Amino acid sequence: MEQSKADMSPQPPTFEYRNCGLCAAPNTPVKCPCQATHYCDRECQRKDKEAHKEGCTYWVRQNIDRLRKELQVLKAESNCSAPRLERKVEVVQKEDDLAGLHQTVGKLLRSTLLVGNCELAEEHYKQALQIYCRLAALAKWHWFFNKQLLVEALHAYQSWCSLQSVAQQGE
């Protein structure tokens, strides 16, 4: 059975409307930049901002960018200022925070189960692991480094890898 040329022509994109993330009104046109939550209007989005920020990949990525900039400044200052130990401790703590944010984004992206997000999740898990490994290698900082975070990041990455291999076997 042959398809006609009209059936094979590209179709205009369809837009999926969901219920508002705050008031549950149907057919909401406004999306959060994370693409996971929809709103009736900017007012509902503004009211839900604080509650939504915690699980929003857009806001967590904004925090990652902010922390990276702060780290650049701190690292530059720690190389040329007198209270170097305090600065280095602050750098390590911020790097630990940064790794935690990467892990959070990885979890949020993985939870959506979209193919494109899986690769992004893997990249964030890898970045978290690199930071945790670098911090673990700094034995002189061991008194405040939380080794449990390294173990959790490693387990999260390993579970992601096992999910990927199961998905590839199913194809």
Per-residue pLDDT of the chain (171 residues; tens, 9 = 90+): 444 554 555 544 445 568 898 999 988 888 888 888 889 999 999 999 999 988 888 999 999 999 999 988 887 876 665 556 677 778 888 888 998 899 888 888 887 766 677 788 888 888 988 888 887 776 554 545 555 665 666 666 666 666 666 666 655
Q: What is the pLDDT of residue 1?
A: 44
Distance CA(138)–CA(106), nearest Å, equals 25
Is the separation of the CB atoms in 129 and 157 below 8 Å? Answer: yes
| Assigned token pair, 10 | 């590209």
Distance CA(50)–CA(102), nearest Å, equals 20
Is the separation of the CB atoms in 112 and 145 below 8 Å? Answer: no
Q: CA dist 87 to 84, 94, 101, Å?
A: 5, 10, 21
Handedness of CA 98, 103, 105, 108 (dihedral sign): negative
Q: Which amino acid is at 29?
A: P
